[in-house]
Amino acid sequence: MLFPGGPLPLRIFESRYIDMISQCMKSDSPFGVLLIRDGQEAGPATTHDVGTLANITDWYQGSDGLLGVTALGGQRFRLLSGRQRSDGLNVGEIEAIPPEPAMALPDEYAALRKILEGVLDDLGRLYESLERRFDDAVWVTYRLVEILPIELEEKQQFLESSDTAARLKLIDALLNTVRGPVTG
């Protein structure tokens, strides 16, 4: 799963992905990330229709010889059609989903900001260079959903939603069921 503005660390070893990453880096273009609905990544699979474009921000060769890549989530997209190439790489036609406009984090959800501020610093290198926008409810909801230990299908529902206020309400309710009511 990848959300707009979120980090995605990858270790690349299959030639189809090495070729894709190489092409993306040469053309300075993103690649798409979609959650698998049915099947497996290495075999026949169907995906959800809404995903996120990934922009490569860093790469390195690991001590094990594998290619390491860090990508940052860009714009959400909808898959219009797709096919699998002979090398097994899935490609398709997409349409961009307009980004949600920034929304001030309502005071009633100030506790969510505090929770996120406390957690991000503990998540290590992956999050230390991430731009922080704790006053933007869109950014806060995406960060919370990507780090919360919830099922991928549930995360997918959050990714597909363009209603920041509804995401705030659902995240707040979810956290309240786990910890009891949180006050700002």
Q: What is the pLDDT of residues 83-127, one digit of tens each?
A: 888 888 889 999 999 999 999 999 999 999 999 998 988 888 888
Fold designation for 107-179: LON domain-like fold (1.10.4060)
Query: How far apart (Å, rounded) are the C-alpha atoms in residues 110 and 79?
Result: 35
Domain(s) labelled CATH 1.10.4060 in the chain stretch across: 107-179
CATH architecture of 7-96: Roll (2.30)
Query: How far apart (Å, rounded) are the C-alpha atoms in residues 52 and 3?
Result: 6
Domain(s) labelled CATH 2.30.130.40 in the chain stretch across: 7-96
CA 181 to chain centroid, in Å, comes to 27
pLDDT tens by residue, 144-164? 999 999 999 999 999 999 999
Query: How far apart (Å, rounded) are the C-alpha atoms in residues 59 and 52?
Result: 19
Q: Which two tokens stand for residue 148?
A: 């919360």
Overall pTM > 0.75: yes
